[in-house]
Structure 1
Amino acid sequence: MANRLAESTSPYLLQHADNPVDWWPWSPAAFAEAASRDVPVLLSVGYAACHWCHVMAHESFEDAETAALMNKHFVNIKVDREERPDVDAVYMTATQAMTGQGGWPMTCFLTPAGEPFHCGTYYPPTPRGGMPSFKQLLAAVVEAWTERSDEVRTAAGKLVASLATHSSPLPQSTVDLDGAVTSLLGDFDRRHGGFGGAPKFPPSMVLEFLIRHHERTGSVEALSIVEATAEAMAGGGIYDQLAGGFARYSVDAGWVVPHFEKMLYDNALLLGVYTHLARVTAAPTVSRVARETAEFLVRDLGTAEGGFASALDADTEGVEGLTYVWKPQQLVDVLGKEDGAWANTLFGVTDEGTFEYGTSTLRLLAEPSDFSRYEQVRARLWAFRTQRPQPARDDKVVAAWNGLAIEALAQAGRVFEEPSWIAAAIRAAVLLIDVHMVDGRLRRTSRDGTVGPSFGVLEDYSCVAAGLLALYQASGEARWLSEAVSLLDLALARFADPATPGAYFDTADDAEALVHRPSDPGDNATPSGASALASALLTASLLVGADRAGAYRQAAEEAVARAGVLASRAPRFAGHWLSVASALALGPVQVAVSGSSPALVDAAVANVHGGAVVVSGAPDSSPLLADRPLVDGRPAAYVCRGYVCDRPVTTVDDLVTALSRE
């Protein structure tokens, strides 16, 4: 059979290129083949760092008998959800509608027209826990298709119609910021930090909103949630105590045992949270974790072409967590008896273990009293760990997630005065503009400097624009503002719902037509495309000239007005929306430093609230600096909130005072 996945830029598809399954990539040709053979499509969706995707691949897709059944009775399509989030979104919605839950691997059976008629997730090779085996499922689907084909097609068509009616835009409503905080307080896990029970995910965007709420209102409760959660995560097994960086989630409520994959988007968002929290708290852990996370991004996820890789795998040589877990004797062997015993106590490594087979994840159970000793022990353990087998890296570059990384590194570079992080953000931005922009449109992915075939979705345009706006402020290079404006104009032109001001589709108006055009406003693992767009539009409205500023702000306000119901009913899935609404409530704040004054710039960066912009340069060198001259020949800072400005100030103390006013 033809190896149709061999030329893919997706590491996930390449992992399946040698399967005995006759895989097709997502393409019109695959559906044409299903129609000509009059067989269903078996759609399998996953991603490279997914543990259970690997398990199902090994158990079923590498099995010759199972593959023979698949090849005989289906056209089999393999999709990388990170490369085609539009395809994933459509069929995940169907899976959740059919089963009440979702996840990956996702397994869907479709008509040759692409309409789903049976969906699920992982299926074992033998019956288990009430689940049929995968081969039993295949046989049942074949029987239904053969014996009741008309009935199956009719049901699939009704499901697609139902999905379309349930995806209408949200009504306009006011975002209740105080009400959202009250609701979040009720969901807060006061024992372990975070929200809800196991599995527990880092609530990055909710924490960002709560920081902004504290900055805006002085709320002690909001800040306490952030501090408790940030400290708990930083001390837990979800955080890599040796190399920095966060795992995807904790399988328990106490952040002890992670699902070991490390995703770019999680670490970019968490870098932002810890950076912004460092502006309002003196806790040494917060700054340390921010610095270590930034270094992890640059060191372990940076690619040779300048971008950032998508993820580190959950597994090492097929074993989850193999790289990361320890037994007490192993620490003694590496460190010696005295330091090993000290490290076992510090990191919570016990004979009973916290993970599998008597192994433990490393946690920092208390801030070390002897920090110098801690640093030496950590360095020795990390050096030893680098000699172990290492997890695979999904080195495709995803535009949206690189946008998040650019934004976080640019902001952290300013706050912590680390120009190397800003330089790393610039390298990634150059890659996105030079490689991902093709014929004036943004592509979703690249790998090894070769752009992939998938067109960018709304989150790509929005997150990259937001990253470039942060980079413009950090670097002062006008190019990044210009590129961001181009992306925002494209997003407004191609993704807006023309019938509903403030509503957006996740795919462009000229994108491949799927059975349903996705439009999900909810913030999940990453900001929704619409909330990211609203944020970027609001920021851009403060940085561009008058010809665009009003339109951008109006578009941001109209988008936020569609998020009120979501923020009220499910604030944990509206964190980014709430941050944008909070910035709107503050003005947002704008600081323009006219003239060369690193001291004024540093003071502004250290004291602004979330969502603010800080620009510096010669008078009239940028739109925000227009008509803002020096004062008595001295550099001056101009502080505005929305459309109201204070008098310019020339000293750091006066600037800090101006920024502290409500």
Structure 2
Amino acid sequence: MNRLAGVTSPYLLQHADNPVDWWPWGPEAFEEAKRRDVPVLLSVGYSACHWCHVMAHESFEDEGTAAYLNEHFVSVKVDREERPDVDAVYMEAVQAATGQGGWPMTVFMTPDGEPFYFGTYFPPEARHGTPAFREVLEGVHRAWTDRRDEVGEVAGKITRDLAERELTIGDTGAPTEETQALALLQLTRDVDPASGWFRGDTKFPPSMVVEFLLRHQARTGSVAAREMAEGLCGAMARSSLYDQLGGGFHRYVLTPATGGPLIPHFEKMLYDNALLCRAYAHLWRSTGSDLARRVALETADFMVRELRTPEGGFASALDADSEQEAPDGARPQQGGGRHVEGAYYVWTPAQLSAALGDEDAALAAAHYGVTEDGTFEHGSSVLRLPQESGPVDADRIASIEARLRAAREERERPGRDDKVVAAWNGLAIAALAETGALFDRPDLVDRATEAADLLVRVHMDETARLTRTSKDGRAGTNTGVLEDYADVAEGFLALAAVTGEGAWLEFAGFLLDLVLDRFTGEGGALYDTAHDAERLIRRPQDPTDNATPSGWTAAAGALLSYAAHTGSEAHRAAAEGALGVVKALGPRVPRFIGWGLATAEALLDGPREIAVVGDAADPAFQELRRTALAATAPGAVLAVGAPDGEEFPLLKDRPLVAGGPAAYVCRHFTCDAPVTDPVELRRRL
């Protein structure tokens, strides 16, 4: 066992038995490198990363490679999900130097943390223009030994260049109608109308763009926005990105070089599924789509069934690989072992027949696009719904699905990364709370509440500061970054609206006050780390949305919602200042600032503030509450409770009407006349 044996990260623990003498990130590793006068190898990955497992099997489990590393380097292993700040800083250097990035990320640096040589995955033998890992190690060692001055110059220049990349947005002002219209126009140019997907060989789920499109349609009535949202969601739900048997979404899909059906990268991440669950629930709210309802509920049930931890939180991910033999000879992971990418999810015609019998197997093959030559590898297929099918025997299909699920349960399951990440649990809380409320599933609201309770008990200290991760109910040592504070606040705000419990609004306020105090810069700028966080070679700062909302745009959204709940001008001003970046980037790269654009829609709409007052046991009150929860007004906030309820500022001075329940629709705490009729309330929303 090496120095990783005592950590909590499942990814680091996967390397605890390596012959490499790994160090966790920390000052001790860099002090050791200085003492020995050797460079540092930084290897960054995450538990569900397929190619991280590949490189581990090929190189880090190899005794010869490990011996060379141990002699000539101090090797540091980082879980990017625990330390997104470390990952962001060095990934920026990798991308600047090589034009691309990815994981595993491999960085060689001085004992002062200054990078000088970069890469991602390196194979054990040179292939396709990529040098062998051992060749890289030997080359770096020679450079460090024989050309130290040159290495120092390169490292110093890279570090200075990174330090100068301070993002300033100037006095651009908040996004305007023109900003949003230009963003929609650019998205229209990027989408392929034939498939519904955005163009490009690699297709990631654009959940945050869908949220923007739905909000834009609700505010403006844009038919183009609605049709694009429906096309994107339909394409995702019918493709192999979506697990047609178990619910939930894989990380992304690739277009095969030879054409044909899309092939998924099979890991399932909590953040993707939380964001997509919420997006499909909102699509149903806007359109009444049966497909959207099914996918939202199946995805919520997947998260609860597969990712919920015994402590009530949600685990980070399921691996892409399973430890088993490949079905019908499908490709085992390079480097040996029994890890097989996607083996849990793919089927051959023979496997369908074994599970269903020949007659139902033929129906299943036609329904899910399973062919003899396969859509994956070695005759295996990933289940999909290749086209709008005609009439089907729903009961027969349900029976087929139940038997296929039972057969799949006999397979070795993918591994699970059990760490609880605060930010991603915040996203899950928001998704489950709203999905439970919209579809009358109080069990989902209960699961959201339990996850929120865990975050308060384990991740928040007496000052409300957040710890980023926990495992088995034990808090990790890594402090929260901006996305943790913002996404947890977002989840708490959603839970407050759904449950009517003002404590969640109060907790959100604690977190957002810390955002204002510790993460803000000049001119509306935000940083990913607090001003008193560990000092890296640069303070990370990125407003663009990628797999999740950036901390920057997530904070803007939560600050705006909190301001709408409380009337706080300080929080609203901070939100408006942060949204200046949307005005700068939205018309040019809307696919990478989707949550910022969605938040801008809320700003342009008000957002609307809804207060429903009355007796919670009164059916008329419940009907008004259900109508308010179903509001499509962008970013609308909701407070429910007794008149003048102290927990929600929106309820103050909102009396009953003729002794009965009433709803108030407001902007900036200025309200229209109260309504008692749900139909009239729906018209105003």
- TM-score range for the pair, normalised by the shorter chain length: over 0.9
Match 2:239 to one of 224, 236, 239: 236
Is 1:452 matched with 2:468? no
Equivalent in the alignment of 1:322: 343
Residue 373 of structure 1 and its aligned partner are, at CA, apart by 1.9
For the residues of structure 1 that align with 2:19 and 2:342, how far apart are their CA atoms?
28
Equivalent in the alignment of 2:203: 200
Equivalent in the alignment of 1:573: 592
Give SS of 2:365's match: helix
Give SS of 1:506's match: coil
Residue 645 of structure 1 and its aligned partner are, at CA, apart by 2.4
Q: 1:232 touches 1:255 (CA, 8 Å); kept in 2?
A: no
Percentage of matched positions with identical amino acids:
57
Q: Is 469-478 or 11-20 further displaced after alignment?
A: 469-478
Equivalent in the alignment of 2:223: 220
Equivalent in the alignment of 2:574: 555
One-letter code aligned to 1:640? C
Equivalent in the alignment of 1:470: 494
For the residues of structure 2 that align with 1:211 and 1:250, how far apart are their CA atoms?
23
Equivalent in the alignment of 1:290: 296
Equivalent in the alignment of 1:394: 417
TM-score when scaled to structure 1?
A: 0.97
Map 1:88-103; keep pairs closer than 5 Å. 88-103=87-102
Equivalent in the alignment of 2:358: 337
Is 1:277 matched with 2:303? no
Give SS of 1:638's match: strand
Residue 644 of structure 1 and its aligned partner are, at CA, apart by 4.2
One-letter code aligned to 2:65? T
Q: Is 360-369 or 199-208 further displaced after alignment?
A: 360-369
Is 1:585 matched with 2:604? yes
One-letter code aligned to 2:289? A
TM-score when scaled to structure 2?
A: 0.94
One-letter code aligned to 2:471? R
Residue 383 of structure 1 and its aligned partner are, at CA, apart by 1.3
Equivalent in the alignment of 1:251: 254
Give SS of 2:524's match: coil
Map 1:59-98; keep pairs closer than 5 Å. 59-98=58-97
Q: Is 366-375 or 326-335 further displaced after alignment?
A: 366-375
For the residues of structure 2 that align with 1:117 and 1:256, how far apart are their CA atoms?
37
Q: 2:319 touches 2:417 (CA, 8 Å); kept in 1?
A: yes
Give SS of 1:213's match: helix
One-letter code aligned to 2:85? D
Is 1:354 matched with 2:375? yes
Q: 1:586 touches 1:642 (CA, 8 Å); kept in 2?
A: no
For the residues of structure 1 that align with 2:149 and 2:271, how far apart are their CA atoms?
43
Q: Is 259-268 or 644-653 further displaced after alignment?
A: 644-653
Residue 574 of structure 1 and its aligned partner are, at CA, apart by 0.5
For the residues of structure 2 that align with 1:226 and 1:530, how far apart are their CA atoms?
24
For the residues of structure 1 that align with 2:581 and 2:92, how far apart are their CA atoms?
21
Equivalent in the alignment of 2:562: 540
One-letter code aligned to 2:537? V
CA RMSD of aligned residues (A): 1.2
Give SS of 1:568's match: coil
Equivalent in the alignment of 1:8: 7
For the residues of structure 2 that align with 1:134 and 1:435, how far apart are their CA atoms?
40
Give SS of 2:44's match: strand
One-letter code aligned to 1:511? A
One-letter code aligned to 2:288? A
Q: 1:233 touches 1:255 (CA, 8 Å); kept in 2?
A: no
Match 2:407 to one of 384, 396, 408: 384
| Deviations 1:133-170, CA, capped at 9 Å, x for gaps | 00000011011111111111121111111112123222
One-letter code aligned to 2:614? G
Match 1:629 to one of 638, 643, 655: 655
One-letter code aligned to 2:110? T
For the residues of structure 2 that align with 1:504 and 1:228, how far apart are their CA atoms?
34
Q: 1:242 touches 1:381 (CA, 8 Å); kept in 2?
A: yes
| Deviations 1:550-608, CA, capped at 9 Å, x for gaps | 11111111110233212122111100100110000111011111113110111111233
For the residues of structure 2 that align with 1:648 and 1:9, how far apart are their CA atoms?
53
Residue 439 of structure 1 and its aligned partner are, at CA, apart by 4.7
For the residues of structure 2 that align with 1:496 and 1:65, how far apart are their CA atoms?
48
Give SS of 2:346's match: coil
Match 1:502 to one of 494, 504, 524: 524
For the residues of structure 1 that align with 2:667 and 2:222, how far apart are their CA atoms?
20
Map 1:179-198; keep pairs closer than 5 Å. 179-198=182-201
One-letter code aligned to 1:615? A
For the residues of structure 1 that align with 2:640 and 2:261, how far apart are their CA atoms?
41
Residue 642 of structure 1 and its aligned partner are, at CA, apart by 4.0
Q: 2:169 touches 2:580 (CA, 8 Å); kept in 1?
A: no
Match 2:313 to one of 297, 307, 310: 307
For the residues of structure 1 that align with 2:220 and 2:392, how far apart are their CA atoms?
35
Give SS of 1:309's match: coil
Map 1:146-185; keep pairs closer than 5 Å. 146-173=145-172, 174-175=174-175, 176-185=179-188
Is 1:413 matched with 2:436? yes
Residue 479 of structure 1 and its aligned partner are, at CA, apart by 1.4
For the residues of structure 2 that align with 1:491 and 1:29, how far apart are their CA atoms?
30
Equivalent in the alignment of 2:545: 523
Give SS of 1:190's match: coil
Q: 2:72 touches 2:141 (CA, 8 Å); kept in 1?
A: yes
One-letter code aligned to 2:228? I
One-letter code aligned to 1:166? R
One-letter code aligned to 1:437? M
Q: 2:319 touches 2:415 (CA, 8 Å); kept in 1?
A: yes
Give SS of 2:212's match: helix
For the residues of structure 2 that align with 1:171 and 1:404, how far apart are their CA atoms?
30
Change in CA separation of 1:255 and 1:424 when aligned onto 2, cut-off 3 Å: farther
Q: Is 409-418 or 398-407 further displaced after alignment?
A: 409-418
Give SS of 1:515's match: coil
One-letter code aligned to 1:641? R
